Amino acid sequence: MIKKVILTPNPYRDGGFKTVLTAQKILQDAGMETRICLPFEVDRSYELPKDIRFHRLDREIGNAEMVICFGGDGTILHMAKAATKRDIPILGVNIGTMGFMAELESTELDKLALLADGNYMLDSRMMLDVTVQRDRDIIYHDICLNDVVITKGAV
C-alpha cells in the first residue's frame, strides 16, 4: 500500500497543471499524501502558478514510496535516475504525443486510486550503468534508462 507519492509534472506539457491537480485530488481522496515537485529546472521566463505549492524534489524523494511523472517519455527518462538511486518505482502518465514508457494516459487518472489499496504490479526495468574512461581516468559516470548518446559536441 502506497502512502506518500511525489507528483512530477512537466510544466510545458501539463497546461495550467490541470492533470497533476486532478491526480493530486484523486490520490488525496484515496488517503495518500502527495507532494508536487518539478522534475527539472524551468526557464526563468516561464510563469509558474502562484496557487500551487511546489516542493523541492531533492528534499521529498527520500521519503516517497512512488513517483508519478506527468508528461512524455522525456519526463520519465529524466526522473528514472533519481528514483532508481532510491529504489522508488515510477508511474508514467502520458500527456502529449510520445508516451511509449507511460503506463497511463491522462484520461485514465481515476485508476490512480488503486494505488491506495495496493492494487498494482511492478515491472522491473534494466538501467544502463555508463562509464566514460580516458586511459585510466574516469571522466564521466552515471546511470540511465533506455539509451546513451556519445557525441563529439553538445547535444
- The neighbour count for residue 7, using CB atoms within 10 Å, is 26
Q: Kindly list the catalytic residues.
A: 73
Q: Is 1 exposed, middle or buried (0-12, 13-18, 19+ CB in 10 A)?
A: exposed
The Cα 139–Cα 59 span in angstroms is 28
Distances in Å between the Cα of 69 and the Cα atoms of 133, 139, 151 are 32, 30, 28
